[in-house]
Amino acid sequence: MAKGFKGGMPMGGGMNMNMLKQAQKMQQDLMREQATLKDKEFSASVGGGAVTARVNGSRELLSIELNPEAVDPEEIELLQDMIVSAVNQALGQAEEAMNSSMKKFTGGMNLGF
């Protein structure tokens, strides 16, 4: 048998088990954090409060609120553009929160979250 091996396993296998346990704990923490973020809500308003969009951490649109004063049949295209802008801003907030949260677990490595 080769030096440093016992029963086919390298000596110091306990260290590998510790690393595995740490990785499993990190995975559990990550999953818990992701679940927490999915329940969070983010909102953004544009056009001086004319349009407000609310999304959740799962990147689902929850609601659109329109200020009645913003609805003018002649400016429907502007209103549509403001809705798109509000939704994109709210989704951006959700994305930033997810990225910020994931950095706790990745040590700042960019893993595409």
CATH assignment of the domain containing 48: 3.30.1310.10
Domain containing 46: what range? 34-105
Structural domain contains residue 62? yes
What average pLDDT does the segment 71-88 reach? 85
Q: What is the pTM of this model?
A: 0.55
The C-alpha angle with vertex 35 and arms to 34 and 41, in degrees rounded to 5, equals: 90
How many domains does the chain contain in total?
1
- Which residues lie below 8 Å from residue 82, measured CB to CB, with a gap of 6+? 46, 47, 50, 51, 70
pLDDT at 6 exceeding the cut of 80 = no
Structural domain contains residue 6? no
What's the confidence (pLDDT) of residue 106? 72
Q: How far apart, in whole angstroms, are the C-alpha atoms of residue 95 and residue 113? A: 8
What's the chain's length in residues? 113
